[in-house]
């Protein structure tokens, strides 16, 4: 490796045995229940590559906020199960 990459990152040393971990998506059985919504890693977990879990969590929050804002503007109960199901 040292001859291929040179010294720009310093000396490359042997760190130890390599390991592999399977990439998996895990989802909650139910993301919505009575007046409760799971978002981000509470709703689904991903392998932490490139902050994808954070990005999806932010997307979830934005989507839920839009759904709740629309319901609130129509005078609807934002905790109603039917309203929360619109988020999914």
Cβ atoms within 10 Å of 57's Cβ, excluding its own: 18
Would the pTM of this model clear 0.75, i.e. be above it?
no
3-state secondary structure of 71: helix
Q: Where are the domains of the chain?
A: 24-87
How big is the CA angle at 62 (ends 57 and 63), to the nearest 5 degrees? 95
Average pLDDT score, the chain:
89
Cβ atoms within 10 Å of 23's Cβ, excluding its own: 8
How big is the CA angle at 74 (ends 41 and 37), to the nearest 5 degrees? 15
3-state secondary structure of 10: coil
- Give the tens place of pLDDT for each residue, 41-82: 899 887 777 678 888 889 999 999 999 999 999 999 999 999
Higher-pLDDT residue of 9 and 69 is 69
The residue with tokens 């969590």 is 57
Q: Output the CA torsion 41→85→62→73 (10° steps).
A: -150
């Amino acid at each position: 490796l040292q001859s291929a990459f040179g010294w720009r990152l310093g000396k490359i040393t042997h760190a130890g045995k390599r390991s592999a971990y399977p990439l998996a998506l895990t989802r909650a059985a139910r993301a919505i229940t009575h007046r409760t919504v799971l978002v981000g890693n509470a709703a689904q977990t991903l392998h932490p590559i490139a902050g994808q879990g954070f990005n999806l969590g932010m997307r979830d929050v934005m989507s839920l906020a839009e759904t709740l804002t629309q319901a609130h503007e129509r005078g609807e109960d934002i905790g109603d199960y039917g309203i929360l199901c619109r988020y999914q």
